[in-house]
Amino acid sequence: MLGELTIVAIAVAAVAGVCISERFERRRFRRHIAGREPLSAHELASLYFQSHEARVAERMIEVLGRHLAIDLACLRPDDRLVADLRMDALDSLSTVEFVLDIEEEFGVKIPDRVAEQILTFRQVVEYVASGVEPSLPAEVSASGRSDQQQGGG
């Protein structure tokens, strides 16, 4: 009976510890983003990235949101994934799932050595954007040349 009570006590303490840790992480994140104007994914992408990277950034925010239990409306490109967004709070399996989700979403491969060097949201967007074929601009004609190229400009 005493052994069962000990196991229950340990389980309760572990759950309480996780809850306290999650609250601490959310509070820490709120302090980090204090004073920032919330932006939609589209606003953040168009303000901080060029057109091809902006499309990747918008989708990347969606992917990131599936893995973090925080509001990403105040995310900025130079936020560090571990130090600022607290991705270190994810276990290693969750981190691997995040990378696999990116690879599946964008059709790219992120080698482990590269994933270890990616520190910020901007870096992950730039890396993925460099491996994703940009879609052609709307003004590209059927001949495959843009109107500007056709005019000699």
pLDDT for 37-49, tens place per residue?
A: 999 999 999 999 9
Higher-pLDDT residue of 103 and 151 is 103
CB distance 85 to 25 below 8 Å:
no
How many of the other CB atoms lie within 10 Å of CB of 124?
24
The string of pLDDT tens digits covering residues 122-136 is 999 999 999 876 653
Burial class (CB in 10 A: 0-12, 13-18, 19+), 37: exposed
Distance of CA 112 to the CA centre of its chain: 17
Superfamily holding 37-131: ACP-like (1.10.1200.10)
Q: Is 131 helix (H, G, I), strand (E, B) or coil?
A: helix
| pLDDT attached to residue 14 | 54
Number of residues that make up the chain: 153
| pLDDT attached to residue 95 | 78
